[in-house]
Amino acid sequence: MTFTGWLTIVLFAAVLTALAFPLGSYMAAVYSGRRVFLSPLLGAPERFLYRLIRADPSKQQDWKAYAKSLLLFSLAGWLLLYLILRTQDAFFVPHLLNPQGFHSGTWNVTFNTTSSFMTNTNWQYYSGEVSMSYLSQMIGLTVQNWLSAGVGIVVAVALIRGIVGRSGKSLGNFWQDLVRTILYVLAPISVVAALVLVSQGVIDNFASYLTVHTITGLTQSIAMGPVASQEAIKELGTNGGGFFNVNSAHPFENPTQFTNFFEMLLVLIVPAALIFTYGRMTGNRRQGYAIYGAVMLMFLGAVVVAYIAEAHGSPAQHAAGLHTGAISGSGGGNMEGKEQRFGIAGSALFDVITTVTSCGAVNSALESFTGIGGAVPFANLSASEVIFGGVGTGLYSILLYVLLAVFIGGLMVGRTPEWLGKKIEAREIKLAGLGILITPLAALFCTAMATATKAGVASISENALSKAGANTPQGFSETFYAYLSQANNNGSAFAGYTGYLAPSAGNLGAHGITFADLLGGFDMVFARYAPILFALAVAGSLAGKRISPAGLGTMRTDNPTFVVLLIGVIVLVGALTFFPALLLGPIVQGLTGHLY
Amino acid sequence: MKSDTGHDVVTAVIAMIVFTLLLGVVYPFFVEGASQVAFPGAANGSKVYVNGRLVGSRLIGQSFGTPVLEKDGKAKEEKGAVVTEADPRYFQTRPSATEGGADNAAASTFSNRGPNSVKTREADEENIKAYMELNTAANRQPYDPALTVAKIPVDAVNTSASGLDPEISEANAHIQAYRIAALRHLSLATVDSLIGKYTSGRGLGFSGEPGVNVLELNLALDRGHIRRSPGSGGAGA
């Protein structure tokens, strides 16, 4: 551990908060229909878009109508993306946009990839630079990077409207919210961010792969592509699907120490800002501060543990005789699967950020993290992506937890629970409870299926088996992480686990592992849309309720006591659900120096 | 209600097409065009040329090895990849886990070896052995008299995340400097000052770790280190 390492972590939290606050106010204005500084520029294109897609933004939708528009739009996106990926080598694809001549994906891995990008998961069984054409990356994957982010955000906005709504059942208009999210929030930041990234060395071109003749007489082939445009929205939309196989560890995706810091900000800025947006829209900013305080505390806790564990080094390193302390000119620590320019702090911080949000764009190899360091991403996912969480998904998920905390608090003091003046009744608690439990249920069910069947075990990497070929805690970690990550729509991986075998570049002779592809695909879709429906149903249920003035007995949801209660509920639900499974994988490795 | 759903379907399909054109064609082409105008060098891969010949990218690590030759003079191959051995006259990059040879920039990958795995320990031991051999002179004394296994910086032994790390730690470079100085008949101070010239600082002064760019450093060695204008190193012609 080093002083600059700790300084990076502290400064990051400060800069993030300073930027998220104004963005949160701006977004509150956008979703309340007030004029913002971009209105003169974007008003006309916005109205043009409504006409083009034949949507009437003034039409108010109740939760069912809102959900229907959302589901139909997602279905259209799924079908189009599947079509694009399956016709990658068709005659109508121009050579310029598939210069390496990659073949189309197989049906099973394409099913997984399509489900993955539509649900903002961006779990990747394929490897970008050996199987995806530039055209697929642009009109397929990049587009879903935008749209899946937009869908997440509008659900959070709709839930806020339900919570604060004073009359009727309206949650707003899905199409209006979607268009505004893209035009007013994502587009301006994304375009600027892409150009900043290019200025630092992130590539953006349509050239075929370079052939280099090195000074020692070797040849090297270097992958190219339109990276920066996808990189910016990949981080901003907490998508996380890398253009290249190693994602944000690749020097062409994340070339410098500065871009590493910048990309971390891009990942967290919208989820953090949305919490302030919530405070603004409820008319009581302290409501936002309370949630922000709770998630920031949990976030910093995770970072501290990961940093200390990784700086300590791994049992394998120590057994080999390496000294892992910091020395002059080297930060030391567990550098297996980490890049020199990021070091231990820059890798630990990035990977905590990417696993608390639903991003998943790692800059180092999670599978090579130490037992305890690797347990941190597990814990983040076990908290169901509420510690900031994905764009939108984080906020609507934690609001369900707030509801639960209010209910439990109400039980403890023996009064009818109220939240922002609205009575919480059996219907809301049932819906919120289901919304919270769906994701863990999907994750554990799929893990059990994959651990208990021969077809599931086939996906475990050779490196995670013992020399005699037996399964190890590492193999279980890989499997568990795969389905936990897909259920939480995160997309980061203990990347040895595979659903796709490509013996040679270009998809030639490639085949998917059908079991892992399909199970993961259903895992992602189910755990994305079921909670969305429950969140919208809660919104619909709350929208029509009358607001009663706060009395003496009302439990406040904007003070430190509530922050503690909220953290307690989140930790308790996560721990009770996942602790037994966590023991079998990362914790057993973290507690022993034993090598398998 | 029926017609409502019909209308929603139409809107969903049109919206999908419109957004695909806007976000999948207009946006990427705009970013590409603006990048090519404003930052052509960076947007095209930070290429490095020597006498008009493309020798690499400043950002992509490469192997400074020479092909191992068979008895018939052909390059030896294993699993379709040329077998190489490190050229001791150049600084060496970090170990890489890519397939088809180290630093394969057409297929980046992690090693995915676990923290408690015997295979990780064995890989580390192998890399330690290779590093010690490379930095040991013919008289069996290490070039750096203080070099022992415990002194080897971790980055010199652990594989990088991308398999394409262009940088090594300063500690790693300073150990290798003894070898370079001996084999190239330079003073240690000269090599060390060259290392300083190609060491990046921390981002914004605090973020990340300093690193030494190996390609730029090796090119500077080949050019002859003496009195070149600072900053011209490796930037390309």
**pLDDT tens for each residue of A409-439:** 988 888 888 899 999 999 999 999 999 999 9
In angstroms, the separation between the Cα of residue A406 and the nearest Cα of chain B is 37
CA angle B129, A464, B107 (to 5 degrees): 70
Whether the pLDDT of residue B237 is over 80: the answer is no
Say what the pLDDT of residue B232 is.
39
Chain A residues with CB under 8 Å of B13 CB are 76
Instruction: Record the pTM.
Output: 0.95
Q: How far apart are CA A465 and CA A49, in angstroms?
A: 54
Please state, as a whole number, how many other Cβ atoms lie within 10 Å of the Cβ of residue B123. 22
Best B1, B29, B158 residue to mutate vs chain A (most A CBs within 10 Å):
B158
- C-alpha to C-alpha distances, B155 to A338, A342, B55, B171, B177, nearest whole angstrom: 9, 12, 24, 9, 16
Say what the pLDDT of residue A555 is.
85
Please state, as a whole number, how many other Cβ atoms lie within 10 Å of the Cβ of residue A17. 14
Cβ separation B30–A364 shorter than 8 A: no
How many CA atoms, within 13 angstroms, populate the side-chain half-sphere of residue B91?
Answer: 33
Chain A residues with CB under 8 Å of B64 CB are 214-216
More confident residue, B73 or A138: A138
Q: How far apart are CA A405 and CA A433, in angstroms?
A: 11
Chain A residues with CB under 8 Å of B174 CB are 329
Residue A70: closest CA among chain B residues belongs to which residue?
B12
Say what the pLDDT of residue B3 is.
60
One pLDDT digit (tens) per residue for chain A, 596 residues: 889 999 999 999 999 999 999 999 999 999 999 999 999 999 999 999 999 999 999 999 999 999 999 999 999 999 999 999 999 999 888 999 999 999 999 999 999 999 999 999 999 999 999 999 999 999 999 999 999 999 999 999 999 999 998 767 899 999 999 999 999 999 999 999 999 999 999 999 999 999 999 999 999 999 999 999 999 999 999 999 999 999 999 999 999 999 999 999 999 999 999 999 999 999 999 999 999 999 999 999 999 999 999 999 999 999 999 999 999 999 999 999 999 999 999 999 999 999 999 999 999 999 999 999 999 999 999 988 899 999 999 999 999 999 999 999 988 888 888 899 999 999 999 999 999 999 999 999 999 999 999 999 999 998 888 888 788 899 999 999 999 999 999 999 998 899 988 777 777 778 899 999 999 999 999 999 999 999 999 999 999 898 888 777 788 899 999 999 999 999 999 999 999 999 988 888 888 878 88
| Domains in chain A: boundaries | 3-591
Of A205, A317, A328, the CB nearest to B154: A317
Best B4, B13, B17, B19 residue to mutate vs chain A (most A CBs within 10 Å):
B19
CA proximity to A492, closest of A152, A240, A132, A131: A240
Cβ separation B116–A217 shorter than 8 A: no
Cβ separation B153–A198 shorter than 8 A: no
| HEC profile of B35-68 | HHHHCHHHHCCCEEEECCEEEEECCCCCCCEEEC
- With 0-12 / 13-18 / 19 or more C-beta atoms within 10 angstroms meaning exposed / middle / buried, residue A452 is exposed
Cβ separation A332–B160 shorter than 8 A: no
Q: Are strands A210-213 and A219-222 parallel, antiparallel or unpaired?
A: antiparallel
Say what the pLDDT of residue A591 is.
86
Chain B residues with CB under 8 Å of A142 CB are 23-24, 27-28
Residue A331: closest CA among chain B residues belongs to which residue?
B209
B229 pLDDT band (50/70/90 cuts)?
A: very low
Whether the pLDDT of residue B2 is over 60: the answer is no
Reading the block at residue A336, the tokens are 């297996």
Chain A residues with CB under 8 Å of B9 CB are 72
